[in-house]
Amino acid sequence: MLFLLALLPLIGALAPALAIRWGRNAAAVAAGSTTLAALVVLASLTPGVFAGETVRASVPWIPALGLNASLFLDPLGLMFAGMILGIGLLVIIYARFYLAAADPMGRFFSYLLLFQGAMLGIVLSDNVLLLLIFWELTSLSSFLLIGFWRHSAEARQGARMALFVTGGGGLALIGGLLILGNIAGSYDLTVILQQRDVIQASPLYLPALLLILGGCFTKSAQFPFHFWLPHAMAAPTPVSAYLHSATMVKAGVFMLARLWPVLAGTETWFLIVATTGLATMVFAAWVALFKDDLKGLLAYSTISHLGFLTMLFGLGTPMAALAGVFHIINHATFKAALFLNAGIVDHEAGTRDLKHLGGLFGLMPIAGTLALIAGLSMAGVPPLNGFISKEMMLEEAAHTVWLGQPWVFPVLATMGALLSVAYSLRYIVHVYFGPRRDDYPKSPHDPGLGLWGPPALLTALVVVIGLAPATVAGPLVDRVAGAVTNGASPHVHLALWHGFKPALFMSVVAIAAGALALMMHGRLQRLFEAGRLPPAKALFDAGVAGAAALSRRGVDAVQNGSLQRAMAALIGTAVVLGFAGFLGAGYEPGDRPGVPASAAAVVGWIALVTATVLVVLFHRARYVSLIYIGIVGLIISLAFAHLSAPDLALTQISVEVVTILLMLLALNLLPKTTPAESRPWRRVRDGVVACAAGLGVGGAAWAVMTRPLDSISSYFWDNAYSGGGGTNVVNVILVDFRGFDTFGEIIVLGIAALGIFALLETVGTGASGRRVAAWKPDTVRSPEHHPMMLVVATRLLLPLAVAVGLYIFLRGHNQPGGGFIAGLVVSVAILMQYMASGYSFADQRLRADHHTLIGAGVLTAAATGLGSLLFGAPFLTSAFDYFHLPLIGEIELATAMLFDVGVALTVIGAVMLALAQLSRVAQSAEKAPPPETLEAMDVDPSRTPATPAREAGR
């Protein structure tokens, strides 16, 4: 059930995108039904959680590392899941009537459900690695929601800013949780949460704490990372109400609560978390008082209340944690209601600017009543729910000593409460009271039930929880606080009246002074303007621009277009790190005896070294160096054959032939020599780096080969026939035991072919097309372009080569061969047609679509793997059996053959696609226009091909 609960919104995100075909109502119903179904599942699990049961679910993820995809539902997860789904359902209803007809509602609801599923994943995850995946998914899905109105520059920038800040914090959180899991010896939260003493005694506690807090503070918009949230208000109001009151910004607070048992209680935790929360609460409340945009005011008030929550969890006492849990519920109710109310004002009055509002209560009595109740709750006025949790916060602050000073927390907490009263009253008074205006952009009136119904339900909760907190919220708060504190939370009877305590007097001062601050708003506004700090957005933009400029200078210095420099940096770094590790670890020679080299091996080694040296000496002569490279490949294939690896030998020589032929075709359009790339001292430097790298690799190989080797080859020898149905162990490994690797390799091969296609697709157009048209051969060519003997020989060999390829393919499971080699053999035969008979001849007769071949190959291989899932076997599990056919006898049929068909098709398609693109460029060059046409195109017909080729080579 837990996996169903977590996956329902993610899977259901497809439903609105499909249902929009039947209209906006259908899309809203699809989204609402998905969320309602998840709520029903959650409700079915609630009685067990309230009874003290922790619901768990787990499936193997990476069993070899002890990692499982694990979920669990405890009271803390239950509370957050209830808010995510409950407020999510109300927001879906509201959004149906709020969004304009031009807004793509199907896409909106899909994004919303995707975000909903990501948030559920965070609060339900037991494995921290799974939690991190969902954490980053919230950043990505919120990016889509904030930037939903993509036509708005503010929305696009707000989305980028939110992704940058919360994504960067997510990277810090990844590091912190990995360290935490390493300390605890497990990545399961339920195990980590039992390791308080071990974690806090570890020297890695502080780094883990700082990294985790970095992720929490950025997500929950704590100072100085607060600036992204106000700019996220460019999103549609339903998004603001959902993300920035009940879900996304609460994710950081959730992590503080979830990890409270193991991280809280230390002086470091208190000083960092409580101080950050207190500073954020006061600073953001001060700024909120002077915001004229309703959503801007609510955004900064949200930041202030998030600081309120952070401070409570930072105090580190069970009672403060209980107050924090209660305020999470209260804040979600009144703040979501106020955001939705701001949307109503904007929707009906045509503006959110406080300077153009006022006197709306008589025109919009329903919306005004809802705003009055929710706003007074945000101000902490009795008898509403916000008052109770504010009193609990002030009581905890009154008894908190900060760096030996007992007055700091009480005074600043009271200041934060005072400002909260002031901006809450400003929202109520400046929007709904005062004289009625005659310059509203629209004619204000109460909306329909679809817009005021959802905030009305939330406002009803504000009142009910305030009047009967012990009955309505007490049981949930009691259990959630126990889960946060690992059972250390005291039982508290929630009530409106807490007696004559310091908190009461602090609250009276806050309410009275807050009302006075509203009356003095004009004077305070001038004070605010005089002491205004540089806008956080400007600082952020300047920081991003500076970082981009610095990165650009660094990249330009290193990546200046010189492949030589880039390779020298890469290989040089590898050499330094490799030798540093070698010298630092110490080396003991191995005692494994060597095998005497045969005369053939010695001759082959001498030929290999000679050919390699000749490649280096004659690398400027492209054709000659290509011949020497072919010799190197041939000797390596002979070495494979000598070492009893015929499959590898066949593969090596086939690959060598194909690549050499393709390079010859490409070389046809390039100069046959390259210019001197560097001065002598650079060549000496490169030689030193290359020799050091070669010695390092050779030394590493020698160290491995001279030590005893416990090979896994015996497993494959023993199981190739019984488990894979083949006697060719190499092929069975490729298509069965390690079939997933092969599947990935053919995908990479197909992508590489598509990359060649993309690079050469535009060669015949624009400036490059003019250069190709002006191309002339730089060497004397034979008048006989297509020698008759070669043409006849290749055409006779084509069916024979195809037959050989088919034979190699069919025997591959039991003898050297297989789909990869067969595809290469057929490719060689096709290549020879191009070389012998010309590009046009081959293209006219080769009717197969190259892209289709690649796609068919990959899909065939994938379908073979997916077929095994239908029979309950893991992906790419092969099956085989033996059958007796009349006249033929017993034959073996294996599903691995279908996989090999996919491999062969992909190989042939990739080679043919490269051939087709090269032939198209060559034909463009052969069809060069007359000189007068070139002059009209402003191309020098006498220009030699060396210039563009050299430019490309550089």
Q: Burial of 921 by CB count in 10 Å (0-12 exposed, 13-18 middle, 19+ buried)? A: buried
d(CA 451, CA 260): 38
Compute φ and ψ for 160, nearest 5 degrees: -65, -40
The 3-state DSSP class for residue 846 equals: coil
The DSSP call for residue 64 is: G
What pLDDT is attached to residue 884?
Answer: 79
Kindly report each contact of residues 733-740 with a partner whose C-beta sits within 8 Å and lies 24 or more positions away, as own/partner.
734/818, 734/820, 735/813, 735/818, 735/819, 735/878, 735/896, 735/899, 735/900, 735/903, 736/876, 736/877, 736/878, 736/896, 739/865, 739/876, 739/878, 739/896, 739/899, 740/865, 740/875, 740/876
d(CA 76, CA 80): 6
Question: Is the distance from CB of 211 to CB of 275 less than 8 angstroms?
Answer: no
Question: Is the distance from CB of 733 to CB of 844 less than 8 angstroms?
Answer: no
Q: What is the dihedral of CA 123, 128, 130, 134, to 10 degrees?
A: 50
The DSSP call for residue 945 is: T
Q: Among residues 377, 401, 398, 399, which one has the least CA distance to residue 389?
A: 377
| Helix pair 205-219, 153-184: axis angle to 10 deg | 160
What pLDDT is attached to residue 40?
Answer: 94
d(CA 912, CA 754): 11
Whether the link from the prior residue into 469 is cis, omega within 30° of 0, is no
What pLDDT is attached to residue 764?
Answer: 66
Containing 70, the helix (H) or strand (E) segment is strand 67-73
Residue type at position 67: L
d(CA 818, CA 894): 13
d(CA 180, CA 216): 15
What pLDDT is attached to residue 302?
Answer: 93
Contacts of 700 (CB under 8 A, 6+ apart): 578
Q: Among residues 668, 645, 112, 842, which one has the least CA distance to residue 120?
A: 112
What pLDDT is attached to residue 937?
Answer: 45
Compute φ and ψ for 777, nearest 5 degrees: -60, 140
| Distinct helix (H) and strand (E) counts, the chain | 43, 4
R_g (Cα) of the chain, nearest Å: 36
Question: Is the distance from CB of 822 to CB of 864 less than 8 angstroms?
Answer: no
d(CA 870, CA 864): 11
Contacts of 64 (CB under 8 A, 6+ apart): none
The 3-state DSSP class for residue 756 equals: helix
Containing 524, the helix (H) or strand (E) segment is helix 521-530
Containing 764, the helix (H) or strand (E) segment is none
Please count the other Cβ atoms lying within 10 Å of the Cβ belonging to residue 707: 12
Sign of the Cα pseudo-torsion (265, 271, 272, 276, in order): positive
What pLDDT is attached to residue 443?
Answer: 87
Question: Is the distance from CB of 568 to CB of 689 less than 8 angstroms?
Answer: yes
d(CA 392, CA 389): 5
How crowded is the C-beta side of 587, counted as CA atoms within 13 Å? Answer: 14
Which ranges constitute the DSSP H helices of 618-762? 622-642, 646-667, 680-705, 713-724, 729-732, 739-761
d(CA 517, CA 421): 9
Size of the chain, expressed as the number of residues it contains: 954
Question: Is the distance from CB of 805 to CB of 911 less than 8 angstroms?
Answer: no
Q: Among residues 290, 146, 307, 132, which one has the least CA distance to residue 220?
A: 307
d(CA 668, CA 922): 8
Beta strands of 831-926 (E only): which ranges? 880-885, 889-894
What pLDDT is attached to residue 924?
Answer: 67
The DSSP call for residue 872 is: T
- Beta strands 880-885 and 889-894 are antiparallel
Contacts of 903 (CB under 8 A, 6+ apart): 735, 742, 746, 818, 819, 820, 823, 857, 861
The 3-state DSSP class for residue 196 equals: helix
The 3-state DSSP class for residue 187 equals: coil
What pLDDT is attached to residue 587?
Answer: 74
d(CA 762, CA 950): 19
Q: What is the dihedral of CA 928, 930, 936, 939, to 10 degrees?
A: 50
Beta bridge partners of 892: 882
Q: Burial of 618 by CB count in 10 Å (0-12 exposed, 13-18 middle, 19+ buried)? A: middle
Question: Is the distance from CB of 466 to CB of 384 less than 8 angstroms?
Answer: yes
For the record, the structure tokens of 154 come out as 């503010």
d(CA 770, CA 760): 14
d(CA 954, CA 950): 6
pLDDT tens for 636-690 read 999 988 888 888 888 888 888 888 888 877 777 777 777 766 677 777 888 888 8
Contacts of 119 (CB under 8 A, 6+ apart): 80, 84, 134, 138, 247, 248, 251
d(CA 723, CA 726): 8
What pLDDT is attached to residue 811?
Answer: 86
The DSSP call for residue 293 is: B
Compute φ and ψ for 285, nearest 5 degrees: -65, -40
d(CA 654, CA 657): 5
Which residue positions in the chain have pLDDT lower than 70?
Answer: 64-66, 676-678, 764, 772-773, 775, 777-782, 922-954
d(CA 343, CA 350): 10
DSSP string, 578-636: HHHHHHHH------PPP-PPPHHHHHHHHHHHHHHHHHHHTTTBHHHHHHHHHHHHHHH
d(CA 332, CA 341): 14
The DSSP call for residue 353 is: B
Cα–Cα separations (whole angstroms), residue 319 to 253, 391, 478, 686 = 16, 12, 11, 67
pLDDT tens for 628-643 read 998 999 999 999 888 8
